[in-house]
Structure 1
Amino acid sequence: MSVGSNQLFDLSREVLDVASRKVSLIEDITRRTKMLAMNALIEAARAGDAGRGFAVVANEVSEISKQVNTITRDLRSEITSRVDHLTSAGSEMVREMRGKRLADLALNMIEIIDRNLYERSCDVRWWATDSAVVECAVDPTAANCEHASQRLGVILESYTVYLDLWIADLKGNVIATGRPKFYPGAVGANVADEQWFRQGLATRHGGEFTVADVGRNRRLDDRTVATYATAIRKGGTADGDPIGVLGIFFDWEPQARAVVEGVRLEDGERQHTRCLLLDARHRVIASSDGRGILTETVPLRTDGRTMGYYAQGDGRTVGFSLTPGYETYRGLGWYGVIVQGP
């Protein structure tokens, strides 16, 4: 909750406190006035005819006291009701502002990821046309594979967000990588049954690419990766026949962590706020608290909305946004989600 909303509620409570004190003072004065009127009536009765006129005044004062007391009681009730309504309306306004803000932050988070992954989709399609990559896939001699490996290594020196780049032949055998010394188990491995290879080989032209689910790759020291792939095509042309597959392994964990930890929260919010990235199955693929990655599924309630917020029964507010995509990258059905406690 923001400082402004706290001040609003504090002011409401102060108005109620001040009004209650003032009404109590009026009630006290009314009681004293009523007592004086009663005493005056007693004295007037003792005075007989001489006190009759005074009795009339005393009765009038008593009646006025009753009227003031009624007005005061109504005033107390009305003030309490109005302040309660103000507090309720203010709470609803704060909840709405808070929910919309969390949804906006969730959108910003997923947009950053979309822009990043758009670049990855460009990388894999571009590098699949590299002459060294194409030559290696066409004729996987030791010389060609060594040349392709050197070329991939040069690319990796400039693109530090990748763990490795692999070239696989049509049977799924990895014939060249960019970091054979770092990951010696990759060359010679067969990846024919892996999602990225099958989908990459099935791309219809050079403008298509595929992305496998974020997961751990045991041949890359069990690191968490987002794998992009596309077919390497004869002649490096967009309409050439497939001659292999290029797979590029995005170093997911540090990049995603920077996004979820970089959400612009106020200092007092961080300890009770969780920023998440979910895949299309609502599986946690990044979290600001480091918990549940690849093991937790969030039962997100979107009600058919692409962006919004809702309150949970435990008092927490959930803001979410579906990936909007970026440029030619349509997104993967991922969500940015922010869960904030009261």
Structure 2
Amino acid sequence: MQDDILKLAYEVSQMTREKIHLIASVMNEAKFLAINTRIEAARVGQAGAAFGLLADEMGRIASRIVGIAAELRSATDSSTDRLLKAGNDLLLRGRGERLTDLALNVVDLIDRNLYERSCDVRWWATDSAMVQALESRTPQAYQHAAKRLATILQSYTVYLDLFVVDPNGKVVACGRPETHRSLLGYDMSGEAWFARAMRTQSGEDYAVADVDRVPALNNEQAAIYSTAIRAGGEARGQVLGVLGIAFDWAPQAEAIVQGVRLSDAERDQTRVMLVDAHKRIIASSNGSGVSGEYCKFTPQEERGYYVSGDKLIAYAHTPGYETYKGLGWYGVLESTL
């Protein structure tokens, strides 16, 4: 609609200029006609005196109309320029606000998704198989926990793997040992998510690590959520170890950034990104720069847009969802003007 308004304003401007030019052209012809009439009137002497007066009046009127046309052209050009500028500003504002809404939608979708992951880890940590594995610490208990994790993975396809970690940081059971051959026995004691999970105060708490590649998971990108496994599965029970769940980041994030509702024309000139709190690109609709490139944008508020060179940059900071506060991420859309 805004494009149509600007197009109409331009067409009206062009039509007005053309008609004013036509008026000026006709009046110039009338002036030349008046001059020729005066010459002829002078040539025939007294008999042409009346025609001479008429020619003078025609010339005066023609000059006045030419002057009015020039004034009209100047006024029209000025008004049209202001109209086009206002229209362009309106178009930019409308586009910027729309892309900002889409940026918010992008980060909101991932927050809602990750909120469910925080619920999953807290729920599964109370599973009797996980609790018994760390209470008895026998090969049979570890195997039973592994079977339980494998069963969960059959229904929850958004995970790379689920794994139980003893209090020393050693992975003692996982759901896909054939796929992740180095995961069993892997030392997770140096991971921040493990340390934070061991320090949680109750079963309501959890820890999360930013998206990164995990060597023990075949170097795949994952967001690991964790919480303590507690004695008896009780919310305030003694900490026995940790349950870690590895969210399969790449396909889930790609589905979100690729699924933004853009027109075909917008899609060709717009890059949709998820950016972490350090402005590191963790998902991109064109697939480039993920985890290695930093997004050069300068947010001034929680959400908004601005023009940088030939780019319109729209962004929105994570609002969190329910009990999930988010990790300080942004949804960012970068579009060519």
TM-score (norm 2): 0.96
Amino acid in structure 1 at the alignment position of 2:123: W
For residues 285-330 of structure 1, give each alpha carbon's deviation from its aligned partner in whole angstroms, at most 9, with x where no partner exists: 1111111111011122111x111111111x1111111111111111
Please tell me whether the aligned partners of residues 131 and 230 of structure 2 are also in contact (alpha carbons under 8 angstroms).
Answer: yes
For residues 204-244 of structure 1, give each alpha carbon's deviation from its aligned partner in whole angstroms, at most 9, with x where no partner exists: 21111111010111111111101000111122111112110
* Partner of residue 118, structure 1: 115
Report how far residue 164 of structure 1 moved.
0.8
CA distance in 2, matches of 1:282, 1:341: 20
Q: Counterparts of 1:33-72 in structure 2 under 5 Å? A: 33-72=30-69
Report how far residue 81 of structure 1 moved.
1.6
CA distance in 2, matches of 1:294, 1:268: 27
* Partner of residue 270, structure 1: 267
Equivalent pairs: percent with the same residue? 46
* Partner of residue 237, structure 2: 240
Q: Which moved more, 1:241-250 or 1:7-16?
A: 7-16
* Partner of residue 327, structure 1: 322
* Residue of 297, 305, 312 corresponding to 2:308: 312
* Partner of residue 337, structure 1: 332
* Residue of 240, 247, 252 corresponding to 1:250: 247
Question: Does residue 1:231 correspond to 2:246, yes or no?
Answer: no
Q: Which moved more, 1:16-25 or 1:93-102?
A: 16-25
For residues 45-99 of structure 1, give each alpha carbon's deviation from its aligned partner in whole angstroms, at most 9, with x where no partner exists: 3344443333322222211111101001111111122221111111111100000
Question: Does residue 1:98 correspond to 2:106, yes or no?
Answer: no
Q: Counterparts of 1:155-304 in structure 2 under 5 Å? A: 155-303=152-300
Amino acid in structure 1 at the alignment position of 2:108: E
SS in 1 for 2:116: helix
Amino acid in structure 2 at the alignment position of 1:341: T
CA distance in 2, matches of 1:265, 1:123: 32
CA distance in 2, matches of 1:203, 1:127: 16
| Contiguous gaps of at least 5 residues in structure 1 | none
CA distance in 2, matches of 1:93, 1:252: 38
Amino acid in structure 2 at the alignment position of 1:324: P
TM-score (norm 1): 0.95
Q: Counterparts of 1:122-141 in structure 2 under 5 Å? A: 122-141=119-138
Amino acid in structure 2 at the alignment position of 1:155: I
CA distance in 2, matches of 1:62, 1:68: 10
Question: Does residue 1:147 correspond to 2:144, yes or no?
Answer: yes
CA distance in 2, matches of 1:212, 1:144: 28
For residues 119-164 of structure 1, give each alpha carbon's deviation from its aligned partner in whole angstroms, at most 9, with x where no partner exists: 0000000111111101111221111111111111111111111111
Please tell me whether the aligned partners of residues 2 and 90 of structure 2 are also in contact (alpha carbons under 8 angstroms).
Answer: no
Equivalences, count: 337
Amino acid in structure 2 at the alignment position of 1:326: Y
SS in 2 for 1:340: strand
CA distance in 2, matches of 1:238, 1:199: 16
| Contiguous gaps of at least 5 residues in structure 2 | none
CA distance in 2, matches of 1:189, 1:20: 78
Amino acid in structure 1 at the alignment position of 2:82: H
SS in 2 for 1:23: helix
* Partner of residue 32, structure 1: 29
Amino acid in structure 2 at the alignment position of 1:325: G
CA distance in 1, matches of 2:157, 2:182: 21
For residues 159-204 of structure 1, give each alpha carbon's deviation from its aligned partner in whole angstroms, at most 9, with x where no partner exists: 1111111111111011111112221211111110012211211212
SS in 2 for 1:295: coil
